[in-house]
């Protein structure tokens, strides 16, 4: 059982506030991903958990024990780093077992047995007698994972562990980490700046910005119901369209079009991020958010909606599995993700429709 609680956690470096009051509970056996842009405080949060940084304020609890001031070696967590952090002069086996004996928790037989088990789990038996320079990046990262697993820690703390691998290997290792987690069920906190990695790995995903948590939810809920503009734009590729509108009587009004908003809102409807704007009888400025795949070409989906407007094609980008249409209407520019092989050219006029249930409304900055 490993539950981790962060309460009002804060870390300042001179005049930089790296972590600005984080409250979070990580459940036993959970795979939790922390995602956000570079410099938002992800690594510092992880290093605070590992005890590699001292908190300026706030508390860290593990299994009901306050470990805020506990030495790293007494926290029983294992870290996996982006650069693997292997000893170059040691074999794979020595890298995995280094320091285990001195903990006093493992006999020689225990260590031998556990290395064999872990090597089998990670398919690294052939690497045990090699030194890191004779291994590929992916192989080194497997050894680093082996070193974390062999100790049977209460939690894994992973800091961008796949960032140095090429794209193909990264996808393969993602699947491997998911399989490993299903097998070991060890509480894992995984930091990445890559939203695709976060969405594919995380059971729950924490989106951070500027040292603060912007939203914590399952990947699908983050995607479907972003609570604020930051999450809406950070999660999803291509990014959500954001269009300046004024809202009046449940209608988003732009110079060139008017989009009626669903009047009932609520759980399955429009994101309740700006209820004041939505319900206002007065005109109120707002940002209308809609994902590129929630706009449709009316000619491809004649039955979809009554609400249509006309836009002009600026550029088209074939993505293989879809066509990304950059278009504009008045001074609003946005993207539509259409069926692949749709034949369109710059300057073409298109009739656009949309699913009103998939509109989002955000307060302007």
Binding stretches for ligand ADP (CB under 6 A)? 13, 16, 18, 36, 38-44
Peptide bond between residue 174 and the one before it cis (omega within 30 degrees of 0): no
Tokens describing residue 274? 């700006």
- Which of 44, 322 has the CB closer to ligand ADP? 44
Query: For 309, what's the count of Cα atoms within 13 Å in the CB-facing half-sphere?
Result: 19
Tokens describing residue 311? 């836009």
Question: Which residue has 């506990």 as its token pair?
Answer: 70
Q: In sequence order, what are the residues at sequence separation of 6 or more whose Cβ sits closer than 8 angstroms to the Cβ of residue 168?
A: none
Q: Whole-number minimum distance, CB 68 to ligand ADP, in Å?
A: 18
Give, for 153, the enclosing helix (H) or strand (E): none
Rounded Cα distance, 249 and 261, in Å: 9
CA-nearest of 186, 187, 190 to 201 is 190
Pairing outcome for strands 4-13 and 16-26: antiparallel
- Which of 30, 53 has the CB closer to ligand ADP? 53
Q: Whole-number minimum distance, CB 201 to ligand ADP, in Å?
A: 17
- Which of 39, 260 has the CB closer to ligand ADP? 39
Q: Whole-number minimum distance, CB 189 to ligand ADP, in Å?
A: 13
- Which of 189, 338 has the CB closer to ligand ADP? 189
Q: In sequence order, what are the residues at sequence separation of 6 or more whose Cβ sits closer than 8 angstroms to the Cβ of residue 23?
A: 6, 7, 8, 9, 213
Q: Whole-number minimum distance, CB 238 to ligand ADP, in Å?
A: 23
- Which of 36, 289 has the CB closer to ligand ADP? 36
- Which of 39, 61 has the CB closer to ligand ADP? 39
Q: Whole-number minimum distance, CB 74 to ligand ADP, in Å?
A: 22
Q: Whole-number minimum distance, CB 213 to ligand ADP, in Å?
A: 12
- Which of 42, 170 has the CB closer to ligand ADP? 42
- Which of 230, 334 has the CB closer to ligand ADP? 230
Q: Whole-number minimum distance, CB 42 to ligand ADP, in Å?
A: 4
User: Can you give the three-state secondary structure of 245-299, one letter per residue?
Assistant: EEEECCEEECCCCEEECCCCCCCCCCECCCHHHHHCCCCEEEEEEECHHHEEECC
Tokens describing residue 75? 């926290």
Q: Whole-number minimum distance, CB 325 to ligand ADP, in Å?
A: 34
- Which of 36, 219 has the CB closer to ligand ADP? 36
Give, for 185, the enclosing helix (H) or strand (E): none
CA-nearest of 194, 200, 193 to 219 is 200
Q: At what angle do helices 167-184 and 137-150 cross, to 10 degrees?
A: 20
């Amino acid at each position: 059982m490993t539950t981790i609680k962060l309460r009002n956690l804060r870390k300042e470096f001179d005049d930089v506030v790296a972590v600005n009051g984080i409250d979070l509970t990580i459940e036993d056996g959970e795979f939790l991903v922390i995602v956000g842009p570079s410099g938002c405080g992800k690594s510092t949060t992880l290093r605070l958990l590992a005890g590699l940084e001292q908190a300026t304020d706030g508390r860290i609890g593990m299994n009901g024990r306050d470990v805020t001031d506990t030495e790293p070696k007494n926290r029983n967590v294992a870290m996996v780093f982006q650069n693997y952090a292997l000893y170059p002069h040691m074999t794979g086996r020595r890298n995995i077992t280094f320091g285990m004996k001195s903990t006093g928790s493992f006999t020689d037989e225990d260590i031998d047995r556990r290395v064999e088990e872990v090597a089998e789990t990670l398919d690294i038996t052939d690497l045990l007698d090699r030194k890191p320079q004779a291994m590929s990046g992916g192989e080194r990262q497997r050894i680093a994972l082996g070193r974390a697993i062999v100790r049977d820690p209460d939690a894994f703390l992973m800091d961008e562990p796949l960032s140095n691998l090429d794209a193909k290997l990264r996808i393969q290792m993602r699947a491997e980490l998911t399989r490993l987690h299903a097998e070991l069920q060890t509480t894992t906190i995984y930091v990445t700046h890559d939203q695709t990695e976060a969405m594919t790995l995380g059971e729950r995903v924490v989106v951070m910005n500027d040292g603060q948590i912007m939203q914590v939810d399952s990947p699908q809920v983050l995607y479907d119901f972003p609570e604020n503009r930051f999450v809406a734009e950070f999660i999803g590729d291509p990014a959500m369209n954001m269009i300046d509108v004024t809202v009046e009587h449940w209608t988003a009004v732009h110079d060139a079009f008017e989009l009626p908003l669903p009047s009932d809102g609520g759980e399955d409807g429009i994101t309740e991020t700006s209820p004041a704007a939505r319900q206002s009888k007065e005109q109120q400025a707002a940002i209308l958010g809609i994902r590129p795949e929630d706009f449709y070409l009316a000619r491809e989906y004649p039955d979809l909606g009554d609400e249509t407007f006309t836009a002009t094609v600026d550029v088209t980008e074939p993505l293989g599995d879809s066509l990304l249409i950059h278009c504009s209407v008045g001074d609003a520019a946005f993207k539509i993700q259409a069926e692949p092989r749709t034949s369109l050219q710059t300057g073409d006029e298109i009739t656009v429709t949309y699913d009103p249930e998939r509109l989002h409304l955000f307060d302007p900055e």
